[in-house]
Structure 1
Amino acid sequence: MALNKTLPFLLLLLFRAFSGFSQAADSTASDSSSINHKKLYPIVVSEAAFYLAGMSYLQFIWYKDHERVPFHFYNDTKGYQQVDKFGHAFGAYVESYIGYKLLRSAGVPKGKALLYGGTLGLILQTPIEVYDGLYEGWGFSVPDMVANAAGSAFVIGQELLFDEQVAKYKFSFSPSPYYKQANGYLGDSHLESLFLDYNAHTYWVSAPINKFALRNTLPDWANIAVGYSANGMFGEFKNRTYYRGTYLPETERYRQYLLSLDIDWTRIKTDSKLLNTIFKGMFFIKLPFPALEVNSKGQVKGHWLYY
């Protein structure tokens, strides 16, 4: 599962990013003539510490009750209607985005920032897959690695092509109707369901409307977003029918393709340093807006507000 094991990395990096963004102006505006070592050293040390903390979490907490086995592979390409793969790419994107932005804020030249920061998502996610290959109940997933690489490549590719992140990779969550029907299988609380209920996940690519209109007709922060989600899932490949002494409802697994509006928080400029920092730190959050849904059941739906 994508978000379960990447949670320590994401939370720690987001915490670090907020402190880094509060010190940085527009770190991608131009290449700095010199590196600010007073900023760079704390970034390198803190990210190394976060990495060790995440590895310790995996080894001593996440896998502690699982038997170590010979290295093996696991093909989960079709799991969770590929929502899981979008989650892997999202985790890698967020980590690479933060790594790159922090290094640029310290004046690291663009090429080196992309090499060491833009690849951070893949660097952080790879040991998780290796661990999976060494413990019973999981396995090294090549599809997961492809998704991880895609998340980092989305950051690097845009910087090389456009010198900015034209499109942002975003996430939205809303408790699914299946959560209360699952008797704990999708989590015993809304917080747990954030990591266990893929029915509640939607992943978006959000880009400025002005880029498509080819003229500045709207504010720079006005975006259009395409999203992907799935529903009806009580299991990875097929639905479970029984859990904790309770029969689970029969549901049809289906995919959802969405079109909505959005806001690019990083393009909103204010005179408040605090607000600018908060907006930069919210780069991965999709704002609820009306949405149009087309799904694999052949339905077309409209949502007044889609989370």
Structure 2
Amino acid sequence: MTYPFRAFVLLCLCMLLLGQSVQAQPLSVASGLPEPTGIRQGRFIGVLVGTAAFYTITLLMLRKQWYKKKVPFHSFNDNREWLQMDKVGHAATAYCMSRGGYELMRWSGVNEQASILTGGLLALLFQTTLEVYDGHSEGWGFSKGDMLANAAGTALFMGQQYGAGQQVVSLKYGFRKTIFPPFRPNVLGKTTGVQMLKDYNGQQYWLSVNLASVLPVGPSFPRWLNLDVGYSGSGMIGGHENPPLVDSEGRPIKFERYRQFFISPDADLSRISTFSPSLQRFIGTAQFFKIAAPSLEYNRVKGVRFHPFLLPKE
């Protein structure tokens, strides 16, 4: 199974968790809302049954559709593919799932420490199972790099929640259309929806830092203001290297592969006190997508570029 489809499955589970946690307990330091007291039996049972059902059904479907031919367990090294964009995607997905699982537990009345642990373990359980499946899949294999990225994303959530009681730093996802999919549509996707999962040239991953949580600012400083550092890649139509291409007249088509780095303002809407508690709770877990904002980019090919709003189509 390709990483993009694996990411799609993980993101579907993440969105399911987020969708059920609209009334979940928000991050206590950011919101100041009271801690829930005692497990709410109905919610708790519903969360357990729903999570177990989704896990089981998803894995059975994958086994039927994607792992029909089983081979002896083996590993492979894909750490140099796609300029490591897939590894950053693994970490971001693990972070999202850990946070979603945590919020479900808090919504059920589970205490803070147990909710953090449960959210992290659920994310690692699901992703480790998929990696083991890959280890028995022809054409793929168990990736130690993927597992390290999974663990890093989970640790980012758990470490902050244990240590600070809030998410000072979060991981976010962005996307823009690129020129590359038409050259290899079966690899990079034929439609926009598929390209969001398969075209690494169009994906950006952002490390979002809440400034009020890390700087000695006064009470008038906007608590919702974040600063994001982004990463992406461009010119990729193959994993390790680009295959040879020619145009209609037989002339070679070449794309240079390079990394892109961004910096951009952002907003953590869950920290806006005028929002209702329910809306704050939902935004705190669902704000996985980067809000469009001006950004400054650097790459070794085109140097420094300023983007007024959305990133341009490459």
- Fold match (TM-score > 0.5): yes
SS in 1 for 2:308: strand
Does the 8 A contact of 1:18 with 1:281 survive in 2? no
1:275-302 C-alpha deviation (Å, 9 max, x unpaired): 4465345321101111111113371111
Letter of the 1:256 partner, please give it: Q
Note the C-alpha offset of 1:206: 0.6
1:218 maps to: 221
1:259 maps to: 263
RMSD: 2.4
Identical-residue share of aligned pairs (%)? 35
Note the C-alpha offset of 1:34: 1.5
Does the 8 A contact of 1:209 with 1:218 survive in 2? no
Query: Given the alignment of the two structures, is residue 4 of structure 1 paired with residue 5 of structure 2, yes or no?
Result: yes
Task: Say if 1:270 and 1:46 are closer, same or farther in 2 by CA, change over 3 A.
Answer: farther
2:233 maps to: 230
1:153 maps to: 155
1:73 to 72, 75, 100: 75
CA distance in 1: counterparts of 2:230 and 2:61, whole angstroms:
32
SS in 2 for 1:220: coil
More divergent stretch after superposition (95-104 vs 273-282) = 273-282
Letter of the 2:14 partner, please give it: L
2:135 to 130, 133, 136: 133
Task: Say if 1:27 and 1:208 are closer, same or farther in 2 by CA, change over 3 A.
Answer: closer
Give the number of equivalent residue pairs: 303
1:15 maps to: 16
CA distance in 2: counterparts of 1:207 and 1:27, whole angstroms:
15
TM-score for the superposition, normalised by structure 1 = 0.90
* 1:1-307 to 2 correspondences below 5 Å: 1-21=2-22, 23-26=23-26, 28=28, 29=33, 31-64=35-68, 67-216=69-218, 217-242=220-245, 249-271=253-275, 275-276=279-280, 279-297=283-301, 299-307=303-311
Does the 8 A contact of 2:25 with 2:35 survive in 1? no
Does the 8 A contact of 1:198 with 1:233 survive in 2? yes
1:200-239 C-alpha deviation (Å, 9 max, x unpaired): 1100111122234411453211110001111110111011
Higher relative CO (Cα under 8 Å, sequence separation at least 6) belongs to 2
Task: Say if 1:116 and 1:84 are closer, same or farther in 2 by CA, change over 3 A.
Answer: same
Letter of the 1:292 partner, please give it: L
Note the C-alpha offset of 1:188: 1.2
Does the 8 A contact of 2:172 with 2:205 survive in 1? yes
More divergent stretch after superposition (102-111 vs 289-298) = 289-298
CA distance in 1: counterparts of 2:60 and 2:127, whole angstroms:
14
CA distance in 1: counterparts of 2:12 and 2:232, whole angstroms:
23
CA distance in 2: counterparts of 1:98 and 1:253, whole angstroms:
34
More divergent stretch after superposition (228-237 vs 247-256) = 247-256
Q: Which runs of 5+ in 2 are unaligned?
A: none
CA distance in 2: counterparts of 1:47 and 1:207, whole angstroms:
30
CA distance in 2: counterparts of 1:3 and 1:219, whole angstroms:
37
Task: Say if 1:63 and 1:273 are closer, same or farther in 2 by CA, change over 3 A.
Answer: same
Does the 8 A contact of 1:3 with 1:87 survive in 2? no
CA distance in 2: counterparts of 1:32 and 1:281, whole angstroms:
17
Note the C-alpha offset of 1:272: 5.0
Letter of the 2:222 partner, please give it: P
Does the 8 A contact of 2:270 with 2:279 survive in 1? no
More divergent stretch after superposition (285-294 vs 184-193) = 184-193
TM-score for the superposition, normalised by structure 2 = 0.88
SS in 1 for 2:179: coil
Q: Which runs of 5+ in 1 are unaligned?
A: none
